[in-house]
Amino acid sequence: MLLGTNGSGKSTLLRLIAGLFRPQGGSIEVNGKVGFVLQNPDHQLVMPTVGADIAFGLVSEKLAYPQVRQRVQESLAAVNLGLLINRPIYALSGGQKQRVAIAGTIAQRSDVLLFDEPTALLDPDAQLELVAQVRDLVKKRHLAALWVTHRLEELDYCDGAFLLENGKLVDRGDPQRLRHRLINSES
């Protein structure tokens, strides 16, 4: 998890890692393919149906139709949405839309997943369900993930945390220690 107040540089760091921004100095190396899940899935999902949206992300790979179909089905199964392959995007809940966005990164065979506050627009039950599901998915598939959050309860689902202030890393390590540091600094 990547923590920090608004304006601390969390989203900028994710965009740098994803290659969407160029660093003004130094360099960033990522081992593997990067998938990026935005805070608002409506800014990421572009096709009319679930299956078409995931398949659209595979166009640049020039795969044969059976390969595309297999990857779409596998990625939807990974996020428990296999039965929604033909569902219109507009008919999905916010949590389902986020899971479709995650499925798109899985279909593209991303090794590193970047999440920019993916629970921000979800109700509390859906928030924790999504965090738990992503944690399980990351562990099962041996992926790396970096998750930006303001919700301290999400720290219960991560292996480690980083704290940014003014664009600089000021602390890292045990999620619960960082939680207590943040809570004590707010008091």
Residue pLDDT, tens place only, 96-154 = 999 999 999 999 999 999 999 988 888 888 888 888 888 998 999 899 999 998 888 88
Q: What is the pLDDT of residues 51-79, one digit of tens each?
A: 999 999 999 999 999 999 999 999 999 99
pTM greater than 0.85 (yes/no): yes
Question: How far apart are the C-alpha atoms of 69 and 80, rounded to whole Å?
Answer: 16
80 CA to centre of own chain: 16
Scanning the structure block, which residue is given the tokens 């921004």? 21
Residue 15 domain boundaries:
2-186
Q: How far apart (Å, rounded) are the C-alpha atoms in residues 96 and 101?
A: 9
User: Domain holding 159: CATH number?
Assistant: 3.40.50.300
161-181 residue pLDDT tens: 999 999 899 999 999 898 888
Q: What is the mean pLDDT of the chain?
A: 91
Distances (CA, A) of 131 to 32, 42, 144, 185: 22, 19, 14, 25
Residue 4 has pLDDT above 90, yes or no: no
As for how many domains the chain has, the answer is 1
